[in-house]
Chain A
Amino acid sequence: MCECSNGNKDIYLPELCTITKRRMLNGTELFMHLEKDSGEDFDYIPGQFVEASVAGIGEAPISISSSPTQKGLELVVRNVGSLTKVIHGLEVGDKLGIRGPYGSTYPLEEAKGKDLVFICGGIGLVPQRSFIRYALDHRADYGDITILIGTKCHEMRLFREEIALWEERKDMTVMETIDEGHDCWNGNVGVVTTLIPKVESHLPNSQILVCGPPIMYKFVLMALAEAEVPQENIFVNLERRMKCGVGKCGHCQMNEHYVCQDGPVFRYSDLAHVPEAI
């Protein structure tokens, strides 16, 4: 390193990690488990994201899906672009560059002793899983845990085995719905907001954690407003183009907030004057 950097590290330099497990969750979502080549463990808090890169292809922000209570780092990558397509082609043993973790976290401490309601739309389940697993690993610290999961169609459902295990547990409630009905599906049909009335009595005193595609927030937040949930109790996990992850490049900015620094997890009441947020 150049001596004139005053001992500062290059904030853009990724650390090499090895893919130790990989499997497809559905037709487009790849699940990966990573370990650092340095042998150190990852240090993060649920809600944060990393910048994942394949040198030569590019870099993109990816939500962390694992909980720091377990070893290694788990990411889920949707095959939507150039980089993610290449990542989908990687095998166990291949390398991924990782920078981070970056950004704000779920309110792990503040939520202690309180009921948690997770509202997840599509791949919104991916970062929520980090806090869900953390809460389950610290089960005594939290009140009731309710998880509402909406997916576009049966084929797109994520973490099916894990959800099945959650459903078996007596100490949590899981409700799933799919937008479009399917022969192999006996459960709820409709968007995730249709599940909200089923847990309505629960809502005003819970910490509500919402993550999903841009269009989902509007409707979920409207339903929560109708249920008279205080905005201070709602946390949203937003997606933007967090190119640098360190508050410089400007791409993820929404009004005065840099999502990579002030987010991705925001308390909804803090977004009252952030019209670009939702």
Chain B
Amino acid sequence: MSVSTVTKEQFKSFVAALVDSDQNVVGVQAKDDKFAFGELTDANALRLDYDVTILPPKKYMLPQREALMNFEVAGAAESVQPDEKMVLLGVHPYDMIAINQMDELFSQGEYDTHYMNRRNNITIIACDVVTDSKNVFAASMNSATCDTGYDILLTAIGDAYVVDAATDKGQALVDMMSGANEATDADLKKREAVHEKNIAALNKHELECKPSFLPKLLEKAYDHPVWEERARLCYSCGSCNQVCPTCYCFDVQDEVNWDLKTGTRCRAWDGCLLTNFATVAGDHNFRKKRADRFRHRLYRKGKYVPGKIDGQIACVGCGRCVTACTAKIANPVEVYNTILETTELR
């Protein structure tokens, strides 16, 4: 495995060659005045200087809607397993950390072949953040930088990238980059400086404790007034769930074709903030109150999911929910800080 340096021009030529190959290439591109991951057909459209994408890249491992199986109505079913290979370009560290968590959640216990096959078919070229977004707080969540999960990590240093190949798949791609030279100590120092800068800058909302303290903090916060205070403005629109890189709850629905004899069982994103998320047959809703649903999300991020993945906090500080929430109540840092400030007093 190598750490090398290429000029941005050389890197663009590499992306152009990749786009021209038969590989499926996905990268970050402008979408009006925002950014989104999408199929890349022109190397010039790739925007590795983006601040944040509207949706995280989880949509390539867990699509908004995907077929799980095809079936005969009232009969047998046949599994649909995704097998398309993809190069995913421009994953930020906080999203990389989220993907690492999802990989663990979908492979632990019962192994989810649908998610894992997609994941294993993706080669990830991550990149350190160049432009900070208005609500990012990755530094507070220890996810301003990342050191695992990607095949390649790019770090922009002036007019060049430090290209860190972490896997054989990544190395194979680096081997295709003409002009790649071994990174010098000076290059690595510059990369270090980028990391230091990001650890300081990606902190628009500052969590007043270490993230690892959150599970303990939440042990005392179940009946805190903050849930009702904030949730009374909640539209139950699930936007915070939808844009979250670590939300992975889903619903399953059957679709029948026009022949009424065949169809597809699909899964689609769901969200614990939506009114009927916990409703069972017979219409009993186990989380009927907005405040209960609102609290559940913040507990999942800070306590419940960490309990499943060795204490890793399931909020990576991307800030998407802060931006997406119409009522402006979703900011996890504000919630956790409110609890911190008032719980210490008690």
Binding site for B on A (CB under 8 A): 1-2, 4-6, 8-14, 16, 54-60, 78, 80-81, 84, 94-95, 97, 214, 239-241, 243-244, 246-251, 253-256, 261, 275-276
Contact = CB atoms under 8 A, between A and B. Distances in A.
A81 B249 contact: no
Given A95-B75, A251-B278, A58 B253 contact: yes
A261 B110 CA distance: 10
A57 B194 CA distance: 53
B75 A4 contact: no
A13 B272 contact: no
Nearest to B105: A248
B248 interface: yes
A250 B284 contact: no
Contacts, number: 141
Interface string B195-238: 00000000000000000000000000010000000000000000
Given A5-B81, A80-B281, A12 B69 contact: yes
B79 A251 contact: no
A55 B253 CA distance: 10
Interface string B48-81: 0000000000000000000011011111110101
Given A55-B72, A276-B287, A250 B307 contact: no
A253 B304 contact: yes
Contacts of B222: 275
Contacts of A9: 113
Interface residues on B, range: 35 or more
Interface of B: 68-69, 71-77, 79, 81-83, 105-106, 109-114, 116-117, 120-121, 222, 248-254, 256, 263, 265, 267, 270, 272, 277-282, 284, 286-287, 292, 296, 299-300, 303-304, 307
B249 A13 contact: no
Nearest to A250: B249
A54 B270 contact: no
Contacts of B112: 11, 246, 248
A261 B304 CA distance: 14
B74 A80 contact: no
Contact of A55 (B75, B83, B114, B303): B75
Nearest to A256: B304
B117 A5 contact: yes
Most B C-beta atoms less than 10 A away, residue of A78, A95, A214, A249: A249
